[in-house]
Structure formats: C-alpha cells, structure tokens
Structure 1
Amino acid sequence: MLITLNRVNALLRTFMPHTNKFMRAFTKSILLFLLFAGFFTNSNAQNYAVKGIVLDTAGLPLPGAVVRIKFGTDSIGTSANPDGTFALDKIKSKQFTLSAAFIGFDTFIKQYQIEKGNILNITDIRLKPSANTLEGVVISGVPPVKVTEDTVSFSARAFPVRDGDAVDEVLKKLPGIKVDKDGNVTSQGSPVTKIRVNGKDFFGTDVATAIKNLPADIIKNLQFIDDYGDQAKLTGIKTGGPEKVLNLTIEEDKKKGYFARASAGLGNADRYNTNIRGNSMKGEQQISFDATSANANMRGGGGDGITTRNVAGLNYKNEFNSKLSADAGYNFNNNKNNTISSTYTQSVLQDAGQNPLTRLEDARNNSKSDNYSHWFGGNLEYKIDTMNYLKISPNFSYNTNSGNNTGSSLITQDTLFTRRESNNLSNSNNLNARTNIFYNHKFLKKGRNLSSWGNINYTNGENFGNVYNKYFNFEGKGVDSVQNLLNNQNNRNLGLNIGASYMEPLWKKTFLEVNYSWNRSSTNNLRDTYNVVEGNEVFNPKLSNIYDYQFITNKIGLNYRYIGEKLNYTLGINTQPALLQGQNLSNNIETVNRTFNLIPSGRFSYKFSNQQSLDVNYWGRNNQPGFLQLQPISDNSNLQNVVTGNPNLKPEFIHSINAHYKQADWSAGKVIMANFKYERTNDRIVTTKERVPGTVNQRTSYINTDGYYTLQGDYNISKPLSPERKFTIGYSGSGQLNNNITFTDDSRIEARNMAWRQELEFRVDLKDIVNFEVETSYSQNLTKYSNDTFTDRQSNRFECGIEGRNYFFKDLTLGYDFTKQINSGFDNSAVRNPTLLRLSMEYKFMKNDMAAIRVEGFDLFDQNSGISRDVFDNEIVDRQVNRLGRYFMLSLIYRVRKFGG
C-alpha cells in the first residue's frame, strides 16, 4: 500500500498539532521509507502491455484515433500513430475494457483478457462510419486536417499563432481559405456567409466582426460546413445549394472566462480609429459585444471610396438545459461613404443587316451616401424529447439611406455624341421581418422521420428621388434639353412558404422520402412621377403606375436515399407547376404566365478513403423576374437609356451541377481541394436594346431566351515542407466561362467571357521569429463575340506581394503588407499600376502584455485605387474608384483576459 506524503502530513496535522522539529524530522524519515517501500512494491507488481492497430471497415488506418484502456478504477490512453498503430504499457490487470474513437465513426468498445504472457496484440479494432449529419462533426484535434462529405475541419493547434491574435490570423494559415483586407472569408472559392460558435449563430452574418471578436488560443477546431439546412441535419436528405458556414468549437477548459480589448488611434488627415470588443463565457453561456467608430483602417482599407463607420453589435447564446437553447444578436451600422469613380463602358451593337457598331460611354461620378441600419435575429431550439425537435428563427431589419450623386458622361456612337450632366438625390427606408419555424418528429422505427416547416417574410420599402439631368447634343443642331423629375415609390412584398417531408426506411441502408412545399410571393408596387416645370410639380400619368404581381409554386418530390460505407447517394424526381401573374391596376391590364417543370435531382458522394472523397450534386430551381423587369412602364431617369419592363416575362429555370473533390493527408497536412460547377438557364431573362435613329439614345427592355450557360472551376493544393509546418507551399487557380446573350435591333449577340487566375503562395511560420506569406498571381479576362467582325477584348493583371510580421525579443513586432499590380488592356486612361505598402510597429508592455503602442503607416506610396472589369451581356465595363489613401496613425491598445479555472 502506497501512502502519499500529503495524506500522512494531513493525519499528522490532525492528531499531532504541536509536533516539534524532532518529530517532523522523524515523520519525514518514515514517509520517505514508506514512499520507497511503495515504489519498490509497485515496481515488482505485474505489468502488462497492449498494442494494436485502429482501422476502418475498409481496412484503412485511422491516424489520431483516441484509444483508452480501463482496468478497475484506473485508465490510460493514447493516440494512434500515422499508420494507425498504438502501444500502451503499465496495465495492471489481465482484464480490461478498450475503447477507440474517431471523427465520423461510431465508438468501438470491447472487453479483453490476456491469456498468455504479458503482451496482447489486438488487430480486430475496426470503426464503423457513423450517420452523416452535421451534428456529428467534432474532431479530436490530433489530425491537422480532416475531410468528410460536407465538412473540412482544421485543428487550431496545428496552426499556432501569437498570443493575443484573433481567429482571423488562424484563418490566413489554412489551406484553401482566403481572408481579404476587408475581413471577408472565402472557402474553396465560396464566400462564408455565417459564423457559429459551438453550433450556434455568432454575430449573424457579420463575418468580419466575428473573426476579430474571439481570441485564437481558445479555439479547438475550425469547421467549414456546407450547410443544407435544418432538415438535412436531422434526416441527411440534402437538396439545393448549400450555405457555407464556419463553425468554431471552443476548448473545454476555455469555456469559462472573459476577454476584452480596447484600442484608440489618431492620425494625420483627421483619421481616427476606435474600437472596443469583449467576450464572456460561462459554460455554454456566452455574451459578446463589439463597437467601432472609425474613418480609417476599414478592416484593411480595401473598400471603395472613403467611409466613416460607426457600428455596435451584441451577441448572446446559452443552453439553459439539455432541452432548451437560444442565440440572439443585434447589430447597428452607420456608414457614410464618398466614392469618386471613372467608368468606361463599351456596348457592342448590331443591326438587322449584321452591321457592327460600338457605343462608348465615358462617365465620371461623385456619390455620397449616409446609411443607418438595425438588425436583430436569433434562434430558439427546443428538444421537446428524444423524438421531437422545434426551432424558431425570427429576423428583423430596418435601414434608411440618403444619397446624392453628381456626375457627367460623354457617349459616342459612330459620328454622334452626347454629353449629360446629372444631379440625383434619393431617400429611402426599408423594413424586413422574417420568421422561420421548423419541426421534426422521429418515430420509434429508426430512420422514420416527419419534418414540417413554415416561413413568412414581409418587406416594405419606400423611395423618394429627385432626378435632374441636363443634355448637350452635339449633332449640328445645338439643342440643349433639361429633365427634372420627382419619383415616389412604395414596394411591399409578402412571402409565404410551407412544406412537409416524410422519410421511411426501406431496408438497412435505404430510405424513401416524400416532400411537398407551397410558396407564394405577392408584391404590390406604387410609383408616382412628377415633372418639375418652373418650380411646379405636374403629375405624369405615363410614368406613374400601380402594379401587383404574384409568383406561386407547388412542388412535390420523391427521393430515394442509399447510405453505404463508401457510397452515399440520393435520387429524386420533382414536379413543379408555377404561376406568374401581374395586374396593371392603372391601365386595367392583367397578364398570366403558367409553366410546368419536371425536375430530376441527384446527389452522389463517394469516399475513396477517410482522407479522400468526391461528391456530385444536381438540382433545378425557378428564378422569378424582378419588379422593374415586369413593370410595363418606362423609366426615363436617363434619356440616353430609357428602360421599359415586360409584363409577359416567364420565370427562369436553372439546371445546376456541381462537384467537390477533397483529399487530406492527415500525417503530413497536405490538402487538395477542387470544385466544378455548371449551370444552364432556360428562359433566361436578357436585355433587348433598340437604337433611336439619328441619336446615341437607346431603348432597353427584357425578353426570355435560351442558350445561356456558365462553367466554373477552382482548385487548391497546399503542402507543408516540414513536419512542424514551418514552411508551406500552395498552388491555386480558378476559371469561369459565361455565354452571355443580348439582342440589339432584333439581332442576337452572344459574348463568351472567359476569366482565369493562377496563384502561387509560399508561407513561413517560425515561432517567435517571423510569419509571412509571399503571393504571386496572374489573371486574364477575355471576351469573344459571335460576330467575327467584333474585336476580341482582353485584359491582364499580374500581382505579387508579401504580408507578414517579424518579432523582435518578445515585445516588439514589425508588420508589413506590400502589393504590386501590373494591369494591361483596361480601356480607361485613368488606370494605373498601383504599388501599395503598409507598415506597422507594435510594442507590448505591462504585466502579461496587457498594453501595447502601435505606429502605422498606410498606403505609403499614396497609390491605393480600385481597378476592375465586368462583363454584362453586350457590355464591358472598366471602372476605377478612389480608396483610402496615405495616412499615419498612433494607437494605444489595452487587453484583459482570463480563461479556465
């Protein structure tokens, strides 16, 4: 029997409170003897050893699997090696219970007994795949990267950052993940639209705020999930397109504590930046807040124009008990923006005689806006019992905006040209209220489910505008014209959606699902237009209208699902009649369009191994026309381009196929990801343009046509060059092909636009020395037309840069961000090849580095500007905008934190 030193001392303190030095010395001698005797006895006790290998059902190893052996009241554990093997010794009993656990697999538990010798070799540990649901996505943190059907998971421990860094610094290290200078996050080319913490929504859709709010060292795993909705989580039936969600799991020992950070900075040119954020956690209860007031460093200064931003956000989540949990958030946002832009637009025209013509517009604009918005949303989840689940998700937003846009444009077409000067004022307010209700019932028979849902969405928007245009016609006539209009517009929409789904297990691995959904969207739009003549407002009945329209669909579907160890697929067929009807109440005209779609659907997922998977998904969907596309009146706020809606438009129907390939080498951290997407649109809504003879003016409307398609693809390969991930190389690329269609004077024009980009990255992470990333990329944008007489249009961009931080001693940090762009082919004389450089120096002081002083220089060469090219139907638009320019700033930062305990 081994008697510990602490226990004996406690006994002595109880029975001999007045021991003298002699007794204490004597006692220690006795204790040392007992300890030695205990050690000797223990060293001669019988010890046993167990070794083995952890495999999946296909015989492939599961590196990082957690293996535990329990004997009596004691237990020991370890993690499997890269080849799946493990070894444990100092087991003091022949009889024991072994358990093995790994992400995405059912836990293995079995009792063993050592019959002969002291060593037992176990080879029958095979883990079966668990059900494919999002709720099961939790990883042990041992493998750096883990891929499953819908999730790519990263262990935060495998991507360490400096003390005090937020989650955004971890994201920058992850393969396939991009964080731009404004805090926007993309995963495999898809934008991350929502962040969750331990499965609960965090700061709504404000991703940039969320990734700055949590310290990196409390994060256990980062999981990028293709979220197909609540029904998919519970039943596994996935249809439609997913939402890309980032879920952050918190270390268990960090779920109790708090974190707060405050900063204040002042710079030249009246620049300032103040921020306070904090987070408090107590188990599953979490409260977070964030507030910012700044006119500089708008999360990197990458936004268009100069912005003054005042924001505040509050987020709350809690699990009140095992049945009831909730999360809620509120965001306030006030943005004041001033954007100065130059735009060069080329429109390719073609008449019935197949004669090509190019219309050029060179425009300059100065736009000012002042926007206020309020958003509140949340989720209430109630697990009524083991068979019933209810979720209610309310959402409310309200925003107001006032704007003033002044500008001028010069349009040339053949030998004709016109100049326009404009001054437009606008004021608007919009209300949106939405509530989603989801209910699921599980029957006693495993796999039998009944789901139902209901959604209601109400929007009410009002817009007041004053349009003032002055035209100078240089056609030998010397005629000037002035246009002054007042527009009052009100738009209300009520959307309703209800549906139900029933899933029945047929055999052990197969299920049959029947679903029905009904959707109705009803819109009412009122528009009053007045001509301002010599200061008097005169009602214009030709430009005023009351127009209602409704879009109604009924969808009935049947899906067959198979769940195998490697193959998982769903095959379905859906029928969907759709009704689009409109009522022009001003002119007493009613239009009705009925369509019927037979929609096959399919989803295939194949797991080559636990490190490699491929999934392919097809679905079809309707897309209703917008109000302005349907309204049968003319918008002549710009006489050079008068737009008239078409009430006879049909809904678009979109066929979509996408594929995702994922491969991860858990031991080496190598990651390969690739995506492919193809969409073809029937009854595509495209523009029609009709030239006004003898002028540069044109009339625009809309029509349905076929032939539009788009192809997209991207890939990312990342490989660490050392086991500790000190050096990592990444190679990525993307491409897109669009077949755009438009009509000019009844002539069809097809413009194939192809854009592609290749990028090479090299990253260095040396702990407490340096972290930096070197990037080089080349991209090209090429447009070809169906008429050979039209000249191909091409632009090119080469970009290189380095971003990182160097650490001196433990308190001083040098930060840098350098980018050089070389552009060619942009048809805009104002385009430059900007060189951007940002430097910062930060010094930490006080106990636990609670305070820091930061000196920063932004855009030191004063060349920050936004350059872009967009291709729409028959138009190519080259645009350059102003952005935040050079400034210097001194900031004071203060942090307090305490986690664990």
Structure 2
Amino acid sequence: MKLFTKSFLFFLLLAGIYSGSSAQNYIIKGTVLDTAGLPLPGAVVRVKSTTDSMGISVNPDGTFIIGKIKSKQFTLSAAYIGYDSFVKQYLIEKGNTLTIDPIKLKPSSNTLDAVVISGVPPVKVTEDTVSFNAKAFPVRDGDAVDEVLKKLPGVKVDKDGNVTSQGAPVTKIRVNGKDFFGTDVATAIKNLPADIIKNLQFIDDYGDQAKLTGIKTGEPEKILNLTIQEDKKKGYFARASAGLGNADRYNTSLRGNSLKGERQVSFDATSANANMRGGGGDGVTTRNAAGVNYKNEFSTKLSLDGGYNYNNDRNNTISTTYTQNFLQDENQNPVNRLEDANSNNKNNNYSHWLGGNVEYKIDTINYLKISPNFNYSMGNGSSAGGSLITQDTLFTRRESTSSNYTNNLSTRTNIFFNHKFPKKGRNLSFWSNINYTNNANDRDSYNQYINTQGSKKDSVVQNQLNNQLSRNFGLNAGASYMEPLWKQTFIEFNYSWNRSSTNNSREAYDIANGNEVLNPQLSNVYDFQFTTNKVGLNYRYIGEKLNYTVGVNAQPAVLSGQNLSRDITTVNKTFNIIPSGRFSYKFTNQQSLDINYWGRNNQPGFLQLQPISDNSNLQNIVTGNPNLKPEFIHSINAHYKQADWNAGKVILANFKYERTEDRIVTTKNRVAGTVNQLTSYINTDGFYSLQGDYNISKPLSAERKFTIGYSGSGQLNNNISFTDDNKIAAKNVAWRQELEFRVDLKDIANFEIETSYSQNLTSYSSDAFTDRQSNRFEYGIEGRNYFFKDLSLGYDFSKQINSGFDNGSVRNPTLLRLSMEYKFMKNDMAAIRIEGFDLFDQNSGISRDVFDNVIVDRQVNRLGRYFMLSLIYRVRQFGG
C-alpha cells in the first residue's frame, strides 16, 4: 500500500506541475456533422491566420479542439470527401476559448462515382476509440461485417465468430450507438451486410457515468459500434441458406433486416449440427437458435432498443486429460501425483434472454436510462469416464457415471439518471443496479474406486444424490456530483453502496439398495452477505494534449456468514484506502498513451466459504473455509495507440499488472497411505501477474494491396499454493509471437498467410520440482480466390507442431477446409456452395492450463470430416 500511496502522490505532483505550466493562447472547439446531424469522423479542419496555419482531423464523435492559436482573427475551413467544403472567418472577442456553432457539410452535387479510397483516412485513434473507415477495407458484394473485421489491424475473428480487439474480447455490438442482439456478437456480425457500414469503432466503454463526467476507472468493456451509411438507412435485406451433407450434417439459417431511418428490425434463426457458425468449439454441437432485435427513436426525447434470443445447444464432448500435481512429503521431498483420465460428456441446454434499453431525454438538462435484463436457462447432462492415479507405489482406478439437471433464473435492472445544472460542467447523477439469481442443481453420481499397493487390493463403491439451491439478491446504488473549478479543471464527489446476499442449501443423500438416506454431515444451510461502502474524491484536468484524473477512495467491507445447520456465525471486516489515477496524453493527432490505476474487492464464492466437505470424489475431498477474507486487487494498465491515417499504418500496445492482497488459494494435504487428498482454501499474499501485447500493421502499397502484420503477447503469473503446509510458488510464463501477410487484390484474391510460435514454461520455488515446458509452432493460410465474376474458391489450411504435451493421440493436427461458391440469377441473388471440412480428419483441441501447483494437459474431440452442399438466396433494396 505504501508503494501505491507514494506513486499516487508523485503522480499528483507531476500533474499539478504540468497543469500550472500549460498556459495556452487561444483554443477553438466545434463539431463537424452532415445534414442529418451525424458526425463526420476523419473530416479535416484547418485554421489560417496572418501568423500561423494548422490542421486537425475530426474525432469519431464529430468533435475537434485546436489550441495554440496566436491570433484572435482567423479563417476556418472544413472538408470531407464527397461533401462541399466549408469556409468562414471568425473573431475571438472575449476570453481565450471560442466554441463555434456546429458545422454541417452538404453532400457534393458533383461527386464522382468512383471515389479514390486512398484519400479516405482508414484509421483514426483517440483516447478510448480506434475507428476504421469501412470504405478503406472493401470486401465482395454479399459479404457480412465479419469479413471486414478480418482485415482490420489488431482485430481477430475466430471460427465461431468471437471477436477480439487489442487482445480484449468484444462483448457487445452497437449499431449507431444502440445495442444490437445483446451480447451475441457472433450473430450480430453475420447479420449486417458489409456494404451498408460507414465506420467500425472499437470503444473502451467505462459506462454511462463516465461518458458524462469523464471520470473513468476500472476495466472497460470492449464494444464495437457500427455506423450505417445515410443512403442505406431506408430499405431491407434478407439471406436464407440451407445445406445438407454426409454424416447426417446440416446447416440452415435465415436472417434479415428492415431499416427506416432510426427504426431497425432484425431477426436471425439457425438450425445446424455443424458446430454452429464455423466448425470450431469443443465436441460436436447441434444448435437451434432464434433471435430478434428492435431499435427506434420515437422522438428527439425517447428511444428504445431491445432483443430476444432463444438457444438450444446439444453437445457431446470426449476428452482425455493428463494432470500433474506436484506435492511434498513431511521431509519436503517431491511427491508427484499423476492422473490419466478420460470422459464422455453429453449436455442438452435451453436458454431464453430478453433485454434492452430505454432512454428518455426529459428535457435539455435531465436524462434517464433504464436497462432491464432477463435470462432463464435449464438443462440436463450425463457423464461417463474413468481415471488412473499414480502416487509413489499407490495406484487407484476410478470408474464413474453421473447425471445432472440445472435450472437457472437471473434478472437485472440498471437505472441511471443525470441532471445538468445551468453552470457548465456542474453535474449530478444517480444510479442503481438491482439483480436477482436463483440457481438449482441436482446431481446423481456413482463412483467405484479400486486401490492397489503391491499385492494389496481393495475397492470402494459410492453412490450419492446432491440437491443444491442458491439464491442471490444484490443491490448497488450511488451518486456523483461534479463541480467545475476553473475552465479546464473539475472536482467530483461520489458515494456508492453495495450489498450482495446469498442463501444456499445443500441436501446430500447416500443411495443404497435403491433407498435414499439423508447424510447430515454432508448437508448444510449456509448464508453469507458482502457489504461495501465507498466514498471517493476525484480531481480532473482537461487540456489540449493532457487529460488526467487523480482520486482517492475509502472503502470499508464486511463479509459475514451464517452456518444455520450448525449455528455458527463468522464476520470478517476490512478497510481499504484506494488511490486511483488515469493519465492520458495525446502526443499528436495520431499518437496517444493512457495509464490507469484502480483497486477493487473480490468476494469468495459459496463453495469456498461453506464449512462442510464435498466428497463426491473421494480422491479429492473439498472443504470450505468460513474465515476467508475478501481479496483486494491492485491493477495498473497502459494503452498505446499510433496510426498513420494516410498510409494506414497502425501500432497498438497494451500492458497490465495486477497484485492481489489476501489472495484466495488452495491448500492440499495428502491422506496417508492413499492417493486421496484434502483440499481447502486460505488467504495469502505473493500473487501477481504481468500481461502485455502489441500489434503492428503496415501496408506495403498505397492501395493496401499488400499488408504485413506483427503481433505478440506474453504473461507472467506468480501462483501460490500450499501442500502439506508447505508454501510453493509456481511461476508460469507464456508468450506468443505471430507474423501475418495479407493480400487484397480486387476481383482476384483475398488471403492471409499466418505463422506463429508460442511457449509455456512453469518453474517452482522448490528445487525438488523440475521445470515444465511446452511449445507450439503453427502456420496456415486462409482466404478466397475469384474466377470470372461469379465463381470463388475458399480455403482454410493450418498446421500445428506441438512438443512438451503429455497426452493426446493427435499431437500435430493438420486441418484443411475447402469451399467453392457460384453465384447466379439477377444481381447475384442466388448462390450454390459446396465445401469439405477437415479433409484430413485430424480436428482436435490440444491445450495446457497451469493452476497453482497443478498442470493439466487436455485433448478434446472436435467436429470431424464432412462434405456439404448448400443453396443461398439473398434479397435487398435500399433508398427510394
């Protein structure tokens, strides 16, 4: 804590020195919009006077700020491709800041049909946004947004449609600022055609409160906002496809959109057993899904967006795992507990999701937003498998079967209200988050253990039924008041209260001769509550290049638990002083850096707290610890962005450091004479993690026909565990380096060659344990070639070469997927497609996970070879 306090004071001193020495001459602020009032990101604004001349590119929200103007009288111009230019003279009569009226550019009447794409700024970076101009990344007619995303630097789209930007997963899609298909990103990017998109904006979203106050703390949510071209806001489009293949494979889908101004209705339906979207994912999945999304602006005051999704997934996953558990005996000699296991899991899950947002601009000073969310799911599953555990001269074979049934309900409502006072910058806001969950889980398990040591052999049979019910009610409420001090400085006071109350009950029955007998030692009723109060003070400075926020928070926390079955109550109280800071510096309009620090609590889970034993697996009996304290996590992250708008060169880099006080870790104690172990939990210090990644993308020609990309990532985790009361630190280092080369030749080919090397190394604080290392080299090519106008060939080839993994039948899988598509009918409305998936029939997943003193190597089945013939039909009409 002393280190962070000193850093905080030093950071505050530097910030004060900068703000005191950054006097400006004149500052000009404004916005550039089209005639519909929408921003024109990338528009160029220039200022000319008798003494100087300078230019700037407009931000994604249409705003611009130009500082260090030396003359009160000047001429300002604004230009954007496809629009008439704007020129006007201004005079600053009072003060040193002038906010001009919004500049609205009209579409040019003599715009040429063929627009020179090289004149469009392809990439724009700001403090929290990386924006791409869709025209600079053209794709084929009929392609969806996912094909554009594959071309963007720093963006990855996997085979199941999951999107990551700068290494962070994109959790939500918005269209013109409104939520689109909830959190179903994969459906959203397939639902919109690429040629109606104007800009793709990757935003670090800190929430509604941060948008209004600028006070940004915590981990942002990565959101992709898609803006639609003005001439495409009226019309409709739809796409239907049906495919049949060998091995009883099928894949059908129907999706469409209707647009009329700000009103948009979208739907999507899928029925397939070819592993949903791209053939990826563990096991073999059959999916039936349907969703609808609606958004509209009923007036300048009221807008609404909402959606409903239904999913039914049936999955069969067959896996083998090899687990190495590194222990020590009473003399600190190494003991290796090795487990070789296999399992066959079948699950059938149903879910319903309903949610949305209602925004009401009561008047010019009051704003209200209500966001309800409802989720209900149910499912059943079965599992069968076995394992062999080896420890010294002991051998235990376990054969098990189980079945389970789940029923889960969750609701959440977020309410946000903001009031702006007549004095500019003075602001008051309130928020409240209410959530409720009800989870039920019934599990029937059968286990047989056969123990062998030398000539001695015995067996144990266990049959149990566990019924578990958990209910949680959470409430969070808070308020924030912001007061301007001077023109560029603000102070904010905030308070938040949070309470989470959980009720748990577990009934365990032993089954013998078909009879169920309650086991009171394994049954329990346990409730716990977690309450925090946080009071904070923040100081914010807004400059032309430098923006910073420094603050301090005081947060007492109380974690209390009641073991109602045994009449035991425990209470743990903690108090934290949490300095916070955010530093953002814009070196140029193309280069920025931001650094953040914040702290947060993390409460233990129910199974970690419940003071009874779970012996459903006799080889690993787990007992909770009701005396656990909540963790406290210190986080520092940094983001660097650089973009050359003309050449399209992009450099993105991220860094993150976390240190956890009172980290909740596992304790494991061996049961003498057996391979069994007793697992529990304890608080300890010493855990930290470092993560970093970078991405560099550089076009090799002005037309961006050839692009080279370098990317890499690395992380270091210092894991802590206790075995037989001995503390063991396990350092896990993992890194990956990748090289990409992309070719985009219009009407000839679009493909990407990719190669990467990764390594995973684990070392231990005890010399008794040897280091463990695995390596992976991977290369491949993915793309499409075009023949004539209507015929295209698609391919996706990858090869993995793995070493250091301790299980798996297919160590170095080679994957190949080929497809051919022919378009016909007027405007290419129809297409016929044939594809072959996993032609070498080697599709399998190989992974390594490191947890404390445990290494788990896993191989899992994935969708195998099949061939499919599909018919695709599209209709569309815009404008008019």
TM-score (norm 2): 0.89
Equivalent of residue 565 in structure 1, options 530, 540, 544: 544
- Verify: 1:102 aligned to 2:58, yes or no: yes
Deviations 1:551-596 (A, max 9, x none): 0000000000000001100000000000000000000000000000
Summarize the alignment of residues 27-426 of structure 1 with structure 2, pairs less than 5 Å apart. Answer: 102-103=58-59, 105-106=63-64, 142-426=120-404
- Tell whether the 8 Å contact from 2:689 to 2:718 is kept in structure 1 after alignment: yes
Matched residue, 2:465: 486
Which deviates more, 474-483 or 846-855?
474-483
Q: Which residue of 1 aligns with 2:588?
A: 609
Higher mean alpha-carbon deviation, 871-880 vs 140-149, is at 140-149
Instruction: Quickly say closer, same or farther: Cα 1:129–1:219, change in 2 above 3 A.
Output: farther
Structure 2 Cα separation of the partners of residues 843 and 79 of structure 1: 38
The residue matched to 1:343 in structure 2 has which SS?
strand
**For 1:335 and 1:141, how far apart are their aligned partners in 2?**
47
Structure 2 gaps, min length 5: 1-23, 49-53, 67-71, 77-85, 101-117
Q: Deviations over 1:78-114 (max 9, x none)?
A: 9988x9799xxxxxxxxxxx9997226448999979x
Alignment match, 2:108: none
Residue 444 of structure 1: aligned partner: 422
Determine if contact 2:74/2:89 at 8 Å carries over to the other structure. no
The 3-state SS of whatever aligns with 2:293 is: strand
What are the Cα deviations for residues 636-681 of structure 1, in whole angstroms up to 9, with x where unaligned? Answer: 0100000000000000000000000000000100000000000000
Residue 645 of structure 1 is matched in structure 2 by 624
Q: 2:681 aligns with which of 691, 699, 702?
A: 702
Q: Which residue does 2:563 correspond to in 1?
A: 584
For 1:399 and 1:231, the matched residues in 2 are separated by 31
Does residue 455 (structure 1) correspond to residue 449 (structure 2)? The answer is no
Tell me the equivalent position of 1:689.
668
Preserved contact between residue 75 and residue 90 of structure 2 (Cα < 8 Å) = no
What is the distance in 1 between the residues matched to 2:399 and 2:706? 56
Instruction: Confirm or deny that 1:867 pairs with 2:823.
Output: no
Flag the 1:365–1:306 CA change in 2: closer, same or farther, 3 A: same
1:520–1:130 Cα change, 3 Å = farther
- In the TM superposition, residue 58 of structure 1 has moved relative to its aligned partner by 11
Q: More displaced, 830-839 or 435-444?
A: 830-839
1:493-504 equivalent positions in 2, closer than 5 A:
493-504=472-483
One of 514, 519, 524 as aligned partner of 2:493: 514
Q: Distance in 1 between matches of 2:636 and 2:271?
A: 44
Asked if structure 1 preserves the Cα contact closer than 8 Å seen for 2:275 and 2:281, the reply is no
**Alpha-carbon offset, residue 294 of structure 1:** 0.2
1:791 counterpart letter in structure 2: T
Q: Secondary structure at the match of 1:154?
A: strand
Letter in 1 for 2:171: T
CA distance in 1 between partners of 2:515 and 2:41 (Å):
85
Structure 2 vs 1, CA of residues 234 and 206 (structure 1 numbering), >3 Å: closer, same or farther?
same
Partner residue in 2 for 1:477: 456
Whether contact under 8 Å (1:351, 1:746) holds in the other structure is no
Matched, 1:734 2:723: no
Q: Does 1:675 align with 2:654?
A: yes
Q: Which amino acid aligns with 1:590?
A: T
Q: Does the CA contact (< 8 Å) of 1:66 and 1:79 recur in 2?
A: no
Checking the alignment, whether the CA contact within 8 Å between 1:99 and 1:110 is kept in structure 2 is no
Q: CA offsets per residue over residues 508-547 of structure 1, 9 Å max, x none?
A: 1000000000000000001110000111111100000000
- Answer with 1 or 2: which has the greater Rg: 1
Give the deviation of 1:353 after TM superposition: 2.1
Deviation, structure 1 residue 468: 0.5
Shift of residue 401, structure 1, vs aligned partner: 1.1
* Superposed displacement of residue 142, structure 1: 3.1
Q: Is 1:779 equivalent to 2:758 in the alignment?
A: yes
Give me the whole-angstrom Cα distance separating, in 1, the residues matched to 2:194 and 2:463. Answer: 56
Indicate if the aligned counterparts of 2:320 and 2:808 stay in contact, CA closer than 8 A: no
Secondary structure at the counterpart of residue 854 of structure 1: strand
How many residue pairs match? The answer is: 810
Once the two structures are superposed, residues 592-615 of structure 1 have per-residue CA deviations (whole angstroms, 9 ceiling, x without a partner) of 000000000000000001100000
Alpha-carbon deviations, 1:759-784, whole Å to 9, x = none?
Answer: 00000001111000000000000000
Distance 1:78 1:487, change over 3 A: closer
SS in 1 for 2:352: strand
Q: Amino acid of the residue matched to residue 596 of structure 2? A: N
Contact 1:780/1:794 (8 A) holds in 2:
yes
**Deviations along 1:672-727, whole A, 9 cap, x unmatched?**
00000000000000000000000000000000000000000000000001111100
Whether contact under 8 Å (1:141, 1:220) holds in the other structure is no
Out of 853, 859, 865, the residue aligned to residue 880 of structure 1 is 859
Q: Distance in 2 between matches of 1:415 and 1:733?
A: 44
Query: How far 1:789 sits from its partner (Å)?
Result: 2.1
Secondary structure of the structure 2 residue equivalent to 1:541: coil
3-state SS, counterpart of residue 457 of structure 2: coil
Matched with 1:830 is 809
The 1:509/1:111 distance shift into structure 2, 3 A limit, reads closer
> For residues 743-822 of structure 1, what are the structure 2 equivalents within 5 Å?
743-822=722-801
Q: TM-score scaled to structure 1, two decimals?
A: 0.87
Change (3 A) 1:61 1:768: farther
Distance in 2 (alpha carbons) for counterparts of 1:125 and 1:155: 34
User: Is the 8 Å Cα contact of residues 106 and 130 (structure 1) preserved in structure 2?
Assistant: no
Q: In the aligned structure 2, how far is the partner of 1:684 from the partner of 1:569?
A: 30
RMSD, matched Cα:
2.7
SS in 2 for 1:543: coil
Give, as a single letter, the amino acid of the residue that structure 2 aligns with 1:270: D
Of all paired residues, the percent bearing the same amino acid is 78
Aligned-pair CA distance for 1:831 = 4.2
Secondary structure, counterpart of 1:389 in structure 2: strand
Q: Secondary structure at the match of 2:186?
A: helix
The 4+ residue runs of structure 1 with deviation greater than 6 A are: 57-62, 65-68, 77-81, 83-86, 98-101, 107-113, 120-131
The CA distance in 2 between the partners of 1:197 and 1:78, in whole Å, is 16
Structure 2 counterpart SS, 1:426:
strand
1:623 aligned to 2:623?
Answer: no
- Corresponding position of 1:725: 704
Q: Which amino acid aligns with 1:329?
A: G
Q: 1:900, CA displacement in angstroms? A: 2.1
Q: Distance in 1 between matches of 2:43 and 2:286?
A: 53
Question: SS state of the match for residue 696, structure 2?
Answer: strand
1:434 aligns with 2:412: yes
Structure 1 residue runs of 5 or longer lacking an equivalent are: 1-56, 71-76, 87-97, 114-119, 132-139
Cα deviation, residue 830, structure 1: 2.4
